Chains A and B, each alone.
Chain A
């Protein structure tokens, strides 16, 4: 009796369980039915998405790169003012590096002329005190060549370069302003990224009629300077 009841229950369970297994299918079927109908309606609709991505895009901000092409500095040296002796000079320079080869430079400098040999011998003064002030200013173009490294001892090397420079400007001297052409060469040592040391020799040429006849004067200047890069 007992075993007959057990068989009956087992048969009932076997009959019901496969049906239960299809429960999941029923829901699934209902879910799939909906997109099927839309696909029939519109063939161009995008395929159903399995996962909806909701990730915020990372925005990369690019830091601005600083340009350090400007070089500003001070210099001190001597200038030989034709007929008026050699005297100390000091000045300011500002340069803009356009390419690795070329730079553009503005400079202003000042010196004080001494006595001509005629003045020394005769005791007559040709110029007043303010007229002896020698001020030059110019705009020039420089060309870097012979780049290289300069070694100090075994362990230290500084980048360096020779440069040629030439330009036009004016000179205030002896109560007049003269159109002046300058040309020269220099040597630049760059110990750090922001500092440079220059040694420059430049000739400043202008015409003057101070002594009656018109003549071309050469005023050679040798100087040492320190510049800072910005």
Chain B
């Protein structure tokens, strides 16, 4: 255990060193923005609860270093670094006088976004299922989705992984239904207490459908059903129903 801990500490140090290198050598070009409101408030941290410690006057400029959630880390001309909120940053302008526009993470983002991720709890063939998914959207309606989950049942445990396409109907509405189709793998480990059965990995295909409901900010709820067809080596193929509900977010 002690040796493990040492290895872990060493790995941690290496990771630290690797992380420090880009920070030191970073000579990036930052986006320069100009303050148009009477002043721009800078907070000590990326959240509304952190105190305001500095204000940037009108017409002064700030460099945008990076973004964390809805907050922007900025540096003033004097070199003061602080966090400005998304709402305040919307009132800043670029060097040519045009408004600074960025991805807001609102209802418009729900309709049209690039990535989404989520977690689910549900049932897979009668067993308890925990799963997660990630998706890449080609446009507001078509997305490529990959999901992985684990099912824990009375008679067997196992994992499922699948990849497929999802088509969203009415992506602009708060309730938007979708249909899915794809392929996957199912790994089943029958419980040892029953008649000894070997572990098996089988291919599967699925069709399904569901609905997503926009909550607030970057969050939405998602519930779906998938009908899996498992291609076994035995005489008959198997069916398995998957029902799940969970929450997801887009970015």
Contact = CB atoms under 8 A, between A and B. Distances in A.
B69 A228 contact: no
A68 B192 CA distance: 46
Contacts of B64: 65
Nearest to A161: B47
A66 interface: yes
5 closest residue pairs by CB, A with B: A147-B49, A159-B45, A100-B47, A66-B66, A139-B119
Contact of A139 (B11, B71, B130, B249): B130
Contacts of A178: 152
A6 B5 CA distance: 120
16 contacts: A60-B94, A65-B31, A68-B66, A74-B12, A97-B68, A99-B70, A99-B217, A99-B218, A147-B49, A159-B45, A170-B150, A170-B152, A178-B152, A179-B128, A194-B23, A226-B12
Given A67-B67, A97-B69, A98-B219, A74 B119 contact: no
Interface of B: 1, 4-5, 8, 11-12, 15-16, 19, 23, 28-31, 44-51, 64, 66-73, 94-96, 102, 105, 117, 119, 121, 128, 130, 132, 150, 152, 157, 191-192, 217-219, 247, 249, 251
Nearest to B63: A63
Contact of B48 (A96, A100, A179): A100
Main secondary structure, interface of A, reads strand
Given A74-B8, A159-B45, A104 B117 contact: yes
Contact of B73 (A147, A149, A193): A193
Contacts of A159: 44-45, 50
A144 interface: yes
Interface string A60-80: 101101111100001010000
B95 A68 contact: no
Contact of A149 (B50, B70, B121): B50
B139 to A, nearest CB: 21
A52 interface: no
A104 to B, nearest CB: 7
A141 B249 CA distance: 11
Nearest to A97: B69
Contacts of A90: 4-5, 8
B66 A76 contact: no
B119 A104 contact: yes
A194 B69 contact: no
B126 to A, nearest CB: 13
Interface string A150-173: 000000010101000001111000
Contacts of B251: 69, 98
A176 interface: yes
Contacts of A146: 49
Nearest to B96: A60
A204 interface: no
Contacts of B49: 146-148, 161
A106 B118 CA distance: 11
B119 A167 contact: yes
A218 interface: no
B152 A179 contact: yes
A190 interface: yes
A68 B72 CA distance: 10
A169 B129 CA distance: 9
Interface in A28-70: 58, 60, 62-63, 65-69
Contact of A112 (B1, B11, B70, B218): B1
B143 to A, nearest CB: 18
Nearest to A74: B12
A65 B67 contact: yes
Contacts of B218: 98-99
B157 to A, nearest CB: 5
A65 B32 CA distance: 11
B45 A147 contact: yes
Nearest to A172: B157
Given A76-B8, A161-B49, A228-B15, 19 more contacts: A60-B96, A63-B28, A65-B102, A66-B67, A67-B68, A69-B251, A74-B15, A90-B8, A100-B46, A101-B47, A104-B119, A141-B247, A148-B49, A149-B45, A157-B44, A168-B119, A168-B130, A170-B130, A177-B157
B47 A144 contact: yes
Interface string A162-206: 000001111000011111000000000010011000000000000
